[in-house]
Amino acid sequence: MTMIADYVAAHRNAFLQELIGLLQIPSISAQTNHREDVARCAQHLTQLMLASGLERAEVIPTAGHPIAYGEWLGAPGKPTLLIYGHYDVQPADPLNLWTSPPFEPAVRGTELYARGAVDDKGQVHVHLKAVETLIKTSGALPVNLKMMVEGEEEIGSEHLEEFLRTHRERLAADVVIISDTPMLQPEHPAICYGLRGLCYMEIIVEGPAQDLHSGALGGIVANPAQVLAEIIAKLKSPDGRILIPGFYDKVRPLSREERKRLASLPMTPQEWLQLTGSPRLSGEPGYPVVEQLWARPTLDVNGIVGGYIEEGAKTIIPAKASAKISMRLVPNQDPKKIATLFERHIRQLVPPTVKVAVLNHHGAKPFYMALDHPACKVAAGALAEGFGHPTNFIREGGSIPFVNTIAELFGKPCLLIGFGLPDEQAHAPDEHLHLPNYFTGVAAMAEVYERMAALRSA
């Protein structure tokens, strides 16, 4: 461990400068005008993979954004790890709310500010530097390692399943490691064994053929914005229960043991509230905050538009109004089935005075893993040693479509070992990464690889 720690300490600045170079590329997968940047980022990553000591690296095209793939297979008979992450980032707007520009990374105190700093380029870079550290200090990796970093995670990983099926042999591994989740507190490592799934829908309500003068023709037709608001209001009861028939049918209740374990985690409701900046908490009655966040499904309006929203007043009945609505799902809800239930319910709520379209944008299945696999224990021990604190076993409320897909396809343990923090503003202005977690993460991940060598390989 000391050789590893010494190497990391001696190369802090070089690591940081390299990460800054990666963060300068605006690889925003959702925006077509950044297509070239996304491709350039994949290319750049393969160069970093080679420079870090992987033997081979290439950009593999998909029907969407490409995948950066690299490998080091010089440990015959030893287990193989598949490391997954994503190099695409969320759009950076609203730009005026950033203290420094999102693609001009800036260090302030212990934090590195940039879009993608924590989600997920910084965490991908932890693995690259763990590889470099081991190869530079001992001349080889203790395990075989494959690294696949995709460019479409933030838009639903649409082409990933096909990629995994096509490259099944090449990607075969004994253990999958993903670093795209937070820990609860600085220097307290965490393994996340559950993620919520997602079902992302859009409702478009259309009435008159064009906007109408609300005096000249108002009063004889339905107003799409009003109708949409009424539909949305009927999706949840005042205490937050989702009113789509059948929505909760497959929700698996928590065991008594898991409830107890989650209740013993360190964050208080007050600390969660502080992360939101909201005046007070508002969740489902009867469920502690972490259960609301990690183990209960939700329905949320992500955006709603319709009619006149510019300066001053304009008297119209809008022709159209629409809303984007997402539902976070928990085991054993299925995004396709939930999309069908949602659409059926919306169609029942819509009056005949308007037309409605219901679109299904993307989805992800929830993920849940038993904690009894030896790889999980080994990793927890290595992380505890690396960070100097015991490893927390947590779930998370976000979604990573890859995780369930690979778990179902490969049937191997998937360890979500993340180095983010809940307050690092992923997807928001001033996204940042706590650098002490990043540097300790590099050394701890090298220790995880080392200890994985003792596992049996298939």
Residues that bind Zn ion (CB under 5 A): 119
Contact present, 274 and 318 (Cβ < 8 Å)? no
Residue span binding ligand BES (CB under 6 A) among the ranges 152-160, 241-249, 366-374, 449-457: 152-160
Q: Which of Zn ion, ligand BES, none interacts with 198 (beta carbon under 5 to 8 A by kind)?
A: ligand BES
Evaluated on CA atoms 438, 8, 266, 191, the torsion sign reads positive
Q: Residue 73 burial (CB < 10 Å; 0-12/13-18/19+)? A: middle
In the block, tokens 């997968």 appear at: 29
CB of 199 to ligand BES, least distance (A): 10
Please give the Cα distance from 198 to 299 (Å, whole number): 10
**Site size for ligand BES, by CB under 6 A?**
17
- Enter the tokens of residue 38: 């996304």
SS3 state of residue 10: helix
398 forms part of the interface with ligand BES (CB under 6 A):
yes
Find the binder of ligand BES among 37, 152, 174, 180 (CB under 6 A). 180
Asked if 330 interacts with ligand BES (CB under 6 A), we say no
User: Count of alpha carbons within 13 Å of 450, Cβ hemisphere only?
Assistant: 20
Helices (H) and strands (E) in the chain, counts: 14, 18
- 174 or 180: whose CB is closer to Zn ion? 180
CB of 219 to Zn ion, least distance (A): 46
Rounded to 5 degrees, φ, ψ at 23 are -75, -15
Residue nearest to ligand BES (CB): 398
Q: Hey, is 379 helix, strand or coil?
A: helix
Nearest to ligand BES of 221, 409 (CB atom):
409
Q: Which helix (H) or strand (E) holds 193?
A: strand 190-195
Q: Which is nearer to Zn ion, 119 or 424 (CB)?
A: 119
Nearest-angstrom CA–CA distance, 127 and 351: 54
Length of the chain: 458
In angstroms, the CA 421 to CA 219 distance is 52
Position among 18, 132, 150, 396 found at the interface with ligand BES (CB under 6 A): 396
How far is residue 367's CA from residue 408's CA, in Å, rounded to a whole number? 10
Name which of 403 and 452 has its Cβ closer to ligand BES: 403
Q: Please identify, among the stretches 148-156, 202-210, 221-229, 282-290, the one whose residues bind ligand BES according to the rule CB under 6 A.
A: 148-156
Give the integer Cα–Cα distance in Å for 252 and 383. Answer: 30
Window contacting ligand BES (CB under 6 A); options: 295-303, 340-348, 378-386, 395-403: 395-403
88 binds, among ligand BES, Zn ion, none (CB under 5 to 8 A by kind): none
Between the CA of residue 87 and those of 8, 166, 184, what are the distances in Å? 23, 21, 23
Q: Name which of 27 and 144 has its Cβ closer to ligand BES.
A: 27
Q: Is 153 in the site for ligand BES (CB under 6 A)?
A: yes
119 lies in the site for ligand BES, by CB under 6 A: yes
Q: Which is nearer to Zn ion, 18 or 119 (CB)?
A: 119
Nearer to ligand BES, 402 or 410 (CB): 402
Interacting partner of 156 out of ligand BES, Zn ion, none (Cβ under 5 to 8 A depending on kind)? ligand BES
Positions in the binding site for ligand BES (CB under 6 A)? 119-120, 153-154, 156, 180-182, 198, 362, 364, 396-401
